[in-house]
Structure 1
Amino acid sequence: MNKHIRLAIFDRLAAAIPEPTTELNYSTPFELLIAVVLSAQATDKGVNKATEKLFPVANTPQAILALGEDGLKDYIKTIGLFNSKAANIIKLCETLINCHHGEVPQSREALEALAGVGRKTANVILNTAFGQPTIAVDTHIFRVSNRTGLAPGKNVMDVERKLEKFVPAQHKKDAHHLLILHGRYVCMARKPRCPVCCIADLCEFKEKTS
């Protein structure tokens, strides 16, 4: 796939998805950080149901620490792995207060040093909260990148490196959400909606649905 096709792909995705953003509900970088930590192996819808009750009560590191681990669990117990997530969030909040004046840091290294935060979560925060041109490769992005031929790779890091190299500069800020939303609603895992796909003629997937 050459750079002209890649540009055309992102131009079309941007036209089809004019306001690409996360489907997690949040109003501050800290709320987004908590939501993303909770979203591991969980749906955005499920996380939003939990945080719509949690955030009005506790949406700062200090307030969540005041809840305590058991108090936090009461709000997130509908989410998978809630026990370990609650423990990580408490540690995360302690680190934010002790090392970052209660604010979410804007560097990858500082984010990845937080409990429960890996490279993917850090990339989401850097991109969505702070507007940095990072791409967090989740299952949707991994699938779309490989299926279309946009940035094929055997693992997440392969795909991330290729996307960083190949995504046109003007689309790097929004590429993360463009690819996620396209994968979630059009280029789905089991039965992609190829007949209504805006990039079907540019895609290298050989087993297109009819």
Structure 2
Amino acid sequence: MNKEKRIEIFSRLRAENPHPETELNYSTPFELLVAVVLSAQATDKGVNKATDKLFPVANTPEAIYALGVDGLKDYIKTIGLFNSKAENVIKLCRMLIDQHNSQVPQTREALEALPGVGRKTANVVLNTAFGQPTMAVDTHIFRVSNRTRIAPGKDVLEVEKRLLRLVPKEFLLDAHHWLILHGRYTCVARKPKCGACLIEDLCEYRQKTS
């Protein structure tokens, strides 16, 4: 795919949604961090249902740590893998208190050192909470990047690096959200909605649906 096509693709996505946002509910970097950790292999809707009850009661490292693993489980038991997630979030809170003055760190290295935080989670927090031009490649972005040929790659890290290199700079900050939303609602896994797609004429997918 050439540069002109990429510019046009992201220009259209921006025109349709000038200020894209995550669908996770949060009001502080810490709330976002917890929500993203909980969202692994779970839907944003399911996470929001749990955090809408949790955050009014506990939304700081100290308050969630005080709940303990069992106390936290009561709030997140509707989310998949809640046992291991509860343990990770409690450990994460302890580390933030002990090592970061209860603040969410703003570097990938420090974020990835926290329990339950991998590269994708770190990138989401850096991008959404701190406005850094990172690319958190989830299943939606991986699929859209390969299917459209915007930035094809054999694994998530390759796609991430290609997107960072190939997405025009003016679009980089919001590209992560545009691609996720496009994959979630239009370029869906089983049968993409090509007929209703904003960028169908620019996409290089060969098996378009009507």
- Please state which band the TM-score falls in when normalised by the shorter chain: over 0.9
- Structure 1 unaligned runs (5+)? none
- Tell me how far apart the structure 1 counterparts of residues 64 and 180 of structure 2 sit (CA, whole Å): 30
TM-score by length of 1: 0.99
3-state SS of the aligned residue for 1:67?
helix
Q: How many residues align?
A: 210
Residue of structure 1 equivalent to 2:71:
71
Distance in 2 of aligned mates of 1:21 and 1:119: 20
Q: Please tell me the residue identity of whatever aligns with 1:32.
A: L
In the other structure, the counterpart of 1:158 is 158
- Calculate the TM-score normalised by the size of structure 2: 0.99
Q: Which residue of 2 aligns with 1:133?
A: 133
1:62 pairs with 2:54: no
Give the root-mean-square deviation of aligned CA atoms. 0.5
Identity of matched residues, %: 74
CA distance in 2, matches of 1:21, 1:139: 18
State the shift of 1:17 in Å: 1.8
Deviation at 1:16, TM superposition (A): 1.6
Query: 1:152, CA displacement in angstroms?
Result: 0.3
Q: Are 2:204 and 1:204 equivalent residues in the alignment?
A: yes
Runs of 4 or more consecutive aligned structure 1 residues displaced over 3 Å after TM superposition:
none
Q: Equivalent residue for 2:123?
A: 123
- What are the Cα deviations for residues 83-138 of structure 1, in whole angstroms up to 9, with x where unaligned? 00000001100000000000000000000000000000000000000000001000
Partner amino acid for 1:13?
A: L
Counterparts of 1:195 and 1:69 in 2: how far apart (Å)?
A: 47
Question: C-alpha offsets along residues 14-65 of structure 1, whole Å, 9 cap, x if unaligned?
Answer: 1122221100000000000000000000000000000000000000000001
Structure 2 CA distance for aligned equivalents of residues 57 and 113 of structure 1: 27
Residue 3 of structure 2 is matched in structure 1 by: 3
Q: Find out whether 1:171 has 2:159 as its counterpart.
A: no
